[in-house]
Structure 1
Amino acid sequence: MYLRNNMRNFISLCCLLFIAGKVAAQDSLITNIQSRKSLDLNGKWQYIVDPYETGFYDYRYKELNEKNGDAYWNSGIPANKSEKKEHGYIDKYSIDVPGDWNHQKPEFTYYEGTIWYKKSFDYAKPANECKQYIYFGAVNYRADVYLNGKKLGMHKGGFTPFNFEVPAGLLKDKDNLLVVKVDNKRYADEVPTLNTDWWNYGGITRDVKLVEVPATYIRDFVIQLKKPVNGQAIGKQPEVSGWVKLNDIPASAQNITVQIPELKFSKQFAATGALTQLSFKLPKVQLWSPETPKLYKVIVSTSSDKTEDKIGFRTIEARGPQLLLNGKPVFLRGICIHGEIPQEVRRAYSQQDAEQLLNQAHELGCNMVRLAHYPHDEKITRLADSLGIMVWSEIPVYWTIDFGNAPVLEKAKAQLNEMITRDHNRASIIIWSVGNETPVSPTRTNFMHNLIIRAKQLDDTRLVSAALEVNYSSGKDVNVVDDPLGEFVDLVAFNEYLGWYGGSPDKCRTTNWSTPYNKPLFISETGAEAKTGFHADSLTRFSEEYQEWYFKEQVAMFKRMPANFVGLSPWVMADFRSPKRNNPLYQEGWNRKGLYDDKGNKKKAFYILQNYYKQKSAEALNR
């Protein structure tokens, strides 16, 4: 027993050291890709379906040697007519990138496993010394990346960006071979875990680029307004804090220049190594808000590099029971959104997709969206900046994560780090969420608390929360949201489904809510299913009339919520695919809680919530 326990501890320590190295590697993530010189690698990629992972392991199930000709990271083209090759890439088997594989071919609808992707490209090498990186917006779930037969690295996490540096001399002028082994199999010790209520879309689901940067370059920067302290006003010259991260300690002294041309602002800072802290006053700035989503071009440069972004300046804080945007109370008129285009049954990835999703939210009357249950494409957070829609962004720590597993915590931290790193200059994002509906236990609370601590270390200018479950009070009229995690979050958010999971909607008439925490209270989910076109009386489940009644009773309950009630994001904007929803008449593999159906049609309940949001908007204008 002693030896077995010590061996288990040793293995856990090795896993932690390995993952710590992987997490450290994520600090190399390059941001503001849209402002970099890059080669677009999207388009048609050839593929091989490999359910047995024959191209990765030998017949003894050991990873193939990098130079092994049978490995699928090689082209598969025989050197002569006698050489044996049992794989190859041809145009007959091609697939679009970005895009999930599930919707592109009928045989892939339910496929979970490995598919190899291959892209050939030419590259004109620049005259000046530079570095190159292969950048992926997201790959679900595990990606092993090879270039010209050499493995660049491996990444886990299906919804966050990553990049790998290309070794010097590896790129060729012609016929570079980029191969990605994509594996979307689910495991109990991954994030998310085995059990989710959404479709496990596999593939290279977001943009791929070859990014070119100088030898010493600006890897990342943060420029944000400081969060007010002790209720102090923002003032006419709000204080900005942040930092600039270079890829390396510069060989000679360098200055970092920050410019905001519209404000005629320019200031130099002496680089203090790889990370340089920034602090300055910003006069005459117009604050970002849903009513005036003002963005400024911000340019950060050194003697060797320049990058820029469009940034809005605002503050968000929880002060006692109040939620304050730019120092003023705000009510969040939200909706939950999946990163999916239901009418085409696929993962969302394009600018047009982002416009569809946020325009639907805008038509509903929303000033906020909860991007569930994972980080969405960067295009949607950037568009939210422009449209003035506040955002809750979340990592997929969902339901039954293995909370007692230390390596799982490190995987969750890595995804949290990648989510925040990509979007920490997005004014629209006001809440980082560390999870959804996690079952209460001391082990789980410690796990989640660690994520909250990490989020605040990475970004102290925003709120940190999680969507909590409710244990409904049996026979009582007051439900108390007293999850112990409430002590650590900034916003006490909870999911409630009174009238759908247990009882009927009229239960809302006698139900009230409270929390022991002196913090803002937010309903992060509520909803009921309805099949468009199925009409019946309001007592009939899955009818539009039932869903309509549900929201009528919910709205009446919202109107008598306690004073610290600061908003809601009902579940969900549009019907979405889920293997868990198998009623043969009303679901057929779809979660039907959408206010829009899978064809973009509005259900009757849409107008109930829209009318409530119009009332709340009018109240805010008259305040």
Structure 2
Amino acid sequence: MVIGTRWLQALALLLCVCGVRADPGDILQVHARDAIRLDGEWRAIVDPYENGYYDYRYQPFDQREEPPAGAFFTDAKPRQPWELVEYDFDRSRTLQVPGDWNTQDPKLYYYEGSVWYRHTFDAPARRDDDRVFVHFGAVNHRADVYLNGRKLGVHEGGFTPFHFEVTGRLRPGGNSLVLKVDNKRRADAVPTLNTDWWNYGGITRPVSLLVVPAVFVGDYRLALDSLDDREVAASVQLDGARGGEQVTLALPELGIHETVAADASGRADFRFRAPDAELWSPENPRLYRVDVSSGDDRLADRVGLRTIGTRGKTLLLNGAPVFLRGISIHEEFAVDGGGRVRDAAQARQLLLWAKQLGCNFVRLAHYPHSEDMVRLADELGLMVWSEIPVYWTIDWENESTYRNAEAQLEAMIRRDRSRASVIVWSLANETPVSPARNRFLTRLATAARALDDTRLLSAAMEKHYRDDDPDVAVVEDPLAELVDLVSFNQYIGWYDGRPEKADRVRWEIPYDKPVFVSEFGAGARHGRHGAAHEIWSEEYQEDLYRRTLPMLDRIDGFVGTSPWILVDFRSPRRQLAGIQDEFNRKGLLSETGERKKAWFVLQDYYRRKAKGTH
């Protein structure tokens, strides 16, 4: 059905006034385009009582047809000498975007609440029928977005991208883009109230303007579908299409140039052979240029071709057994007092540390990391586990909580499903078994399979012990029936007995699937030394690693591990003065990048695994 242009314009105006939620299924390929970055200094107002959003009767200003000047999103100035306006962005503090507010201002270190951000810009040059979008890499946690005093919409979820179309809403100059950013924790949110990482607030990833034709390439996906004959499956989704548009996909280095017509929904499907393609792997992270075009629109990207799968208890990369020499990583870079990773340079340093450790795999915990991280992993030859923050105990019975989790899952998968590095989508971490939880995660697993069936599905589960034998650790969970990789966290020697317990534990895992140990570890303050039995010493952590790795090797079907964690990271749960000082100390590196003794134990283990001499 074709809808009249005037009706669409009227609907757009209504949605602009009332506000809409960003659609997680609607992806813009920002990294494959020339975008106008709006990063840098933004004006900011800290608003713990949300006086810029609610009146004194606690009624939202943005639900009025004509919001008053006192609503911060109007970015108003007094029009008369006697007019009362109790804020002024022009005289307010500044915060860097991208960046968290916690580490930019000591007064905001523990702050959880609302901060208003404002940035002014001129409209970009464009043709008459071009369209303009404003794109956000991530904002933690809820973002209410306004342009020139009118609401564009709302996005919830602190780690996934979103955007709004602003065509027809831009002034030639002096456009005012305002966000109310709220990082308050909520029981019904994803993640929920209780986590073991810092709740960094702010516009933590880049903000961009994109100018595109009326009909443009909104998204694409490409994957090696068949290893034997190098058959590639791809699809392109046009935005604004009516059907019949010609869509071209090319991999020039492989001599591939295919054109098909889009269907009525704007989708074009491709299937072709690439017999001369080198397969992507950690040893040879080969990327090929891919060009996608339709009409006046072009995007250029780089992709790798590989397969990932399982056969019984064997994990297969490009049809050959592979062992995952992994490490877990938080998206934090605390060197020089920093917080949330701000740019590609910081992301690269984290991944280079993993490479120096001997890793071919990283678990990006406990939420979707930036697009820079996964694209750099493509380049560096690191396989990736990517997950959403369904963490510990969330509100399993709440339908809105489920919808938010699924939206984050969809945004993560759609953004990164053409990245060769990503081999595992993870649904959850350490969630206690219950009927409600099982239903929730079953729905997520079904959604993930529908979005992408070319990768493995997993989740970080938990273990327990047999009642009749306390030395037999059991991994048995209804979720294990739904996933491809049986993954679990275990902390024998830290939360569970002394390190020597690892010497006698045996494992019972009743699934004909590969087994991956997604976490183990112990806390140690860098530079603190003592006997191997002295907790918090580097020697204690070192001894735990020496005992744990042989224990893991005895597990039937063991295909890899991602110990917890690469670098010490901030957490308000970790309050032991003089040792933790609000850092989780399980890192193999200190928060400033200094190596602890356990680093060398794992590095040696991985070197021997890589040589096949273990």
TM-score bracket for this pair, using the shorter chain length: over 0.9
- Give the structure 2 partner of residue 196 of structure 1: 195
- Give the structure 1 partner of residue 120 of structure 2: 120
- Residue range with higher mean Cα deviation, 117-126 or 143-152: 117-126
Question: Which of the residues 320, 328, 331 maps onto 1:328?
Answer: 320
Preserved contact between residue 121 and residue 174 of structure 1 (Cα < 8 Å): yes
Question: Which of the residues 344, 353, 367 maps onto 2:360?
Answer: 367
5 Å matches for 1:299-448?
299-343=291-335, 344-448=337-441
Q: Within 1, Cα distance between the matches of 2:548 and 2:569? A: 22
Report the TM-score when normalising by structure 2: 0.94
> How far apart are 1:28 and its partner, in Å?
2.2
- Give the structure 2 partner of residue 37 of structure 1: 34
- Give the structure 1 partner of residue 7 of structure 2: none
The code of the aligned residue for 2:542 comes to E
- Residue range with higher mean Cα deviation, 117-126 or 435-444: 117-126
Matched, 1:254 2:261: no
Q: 1:24 to 1:106 in 2, by over 3 A?
A: closer
> How far apart are 1:592 and its partner, in Å?
0.2
Structure 1 residues without counterparts, runs of 5 or longer: 1-20, 229-233
> How far apart are 1:561 and its partner, in Å?
2.2
> What is the number of equivalent residue pairs in this alignment?
590
Question: Which of the residues 515, 525, 530 maps onto 2:519?
Answer: 525
- Give the structure 1 partner of residue 54 of structure 2: 57
- Give the structure 2 partner of residue 182 of structure 1: 181
- Give the structure 2 partner of residue 147 of structure 1: 147
Q: In the TM superposition, what whole-angstrom CA distance separates every residue of 1:31-80 from its partner, at most 9, and x where no partner exists?
A: 2x123232210000001110011111111111112532111012231112
The code of the aligned residue for 1:318 comes to T
The code of the aligned residue for 2:548 comes to Q
Q: In the TM superposition, what whole-angstrom CA distance separates every residue of 1:214-250 from its partner, at most 9, and x where no partner exists?
A: 1011100111111x5xxxxx22x31111311111333
Preserved contact between residue 374 and residue 384 of structure 2 (Cα < 8 Å): yes
- Give the structure 1 partner of residue 477 of structure 2: 483
Matched, 1:26 2:28: no
Q: Within 2, Cα distance between the matches of 1:199 and 1:417? A: 24
Question: Which of the residues 511, 516, 525 maps onto 2:510?
Answer: 516
Preserved contact between residue 349 and residue 377 of structure 1 (Cα < 8 Å): no
Q: 1:429 to 1:22 in 2, by over 3 A?
A: farther
RMSD over aligned CA atoms reads 1.5
Where 1:549 maps in the other structure, the secondary structure is helix
Q: 1:92 to 1:58 in 2, by over 3 A?
A: closer
Preserved contact between residue 36 and residue 212 of structure 1 (Cα < 8 Å): no
Q: 1:208 to 1:467 in 2, by over 3 A?
A: same
> How far apart are 1:473 and its partner, in Å?
3.5
The code of the aligned residue for 1:313 comes to L
Structure 2 residues without counterparts, runs of 5 or longer: 1-18
Preserved contact between residue 498 and residue 505 of structure 1 (Cα < 8 Å): yes
Preserved contact between residue 159 and residue 369 of structure 2 (Cα < 8 Å): yes
Q: Within 2, Cα distance between the matches of 1:104 and 1:349? A: 12
Preserved contact between residue 23 and residue 162 of structure 2 (Cα < 8 Å): no
Q: Within 2, Cα distance between the matches of 1:69 and 1:547? A: 58
The code of the aligned residue for 2:45 comes to I
- Give the structure 2 partner of residue 269 of structure 1: 260
> How far apart are 1:411 and its partner, in Å?
0.4
Where 1:456 maps in the other structure, the secondary structure is helix
Q: Within 2, Cα distance between the matches of 1:390 and 1:22? A: 36
Q: Within 1, Cα distance between the matches of 2:126 and 2:311? A: 53
> How far apart are 1:201 and its partner, in Å?
0.2
Where 1:466 maps in the other structure, the secondary structure is strand
Report the TM-score when normalising by structure 1: 0.93
Q: Within 1, Cα distance between the matches of 2:58 and 2:465? A: 49
- Residue range with higher mean Cα deviation, 291-300 or 57-66: 57-66
> How far apart are 1:23 and its partner, in Å?
7.7
- Give the structure 2 partner of residue 77 of structure 1: 77
> How far apart are 1:579 and its partner, in Å?
0.3
The code of the aligned residue for 2:57 comes to R
5 Å matches for 1:554-569?
554-562=548-556, 564-569=557-562
> How far apart are 1:478 and its partner, in Å?
2.2
Q: Within 2, Cα distance between the matches of 1:609 and 1:467? A: 21
> How far apart are 1:105 and its partner, in Å?
0.4
Preserved contact between residue 23 and residue 414 of structure 1 (Cα < 8 Å): no
Q: Within 2, Cα distance between the matches of 1:441 and 1:509? A: 32
Q: Within 2, Cα distance between the matches of 1:514 and 1:415? A: 33
- Give the structure 2 partner of residue 278 of structure 1: 270
Preserved contact between residue 292 and residue 298 of structure 2 (Cα < 8 Å): yes
> How far apart are 1:91 and its partner, in Å?
4.8
Preserved contact between residue 22 and residue 153 of structure 2 (Cα < 8 Å): no
Q: Within 2, Cα distance between the matches of 1:159 and 1:459? A: 20
- Give the structure 2 partner of residue 10 of structure 1: none
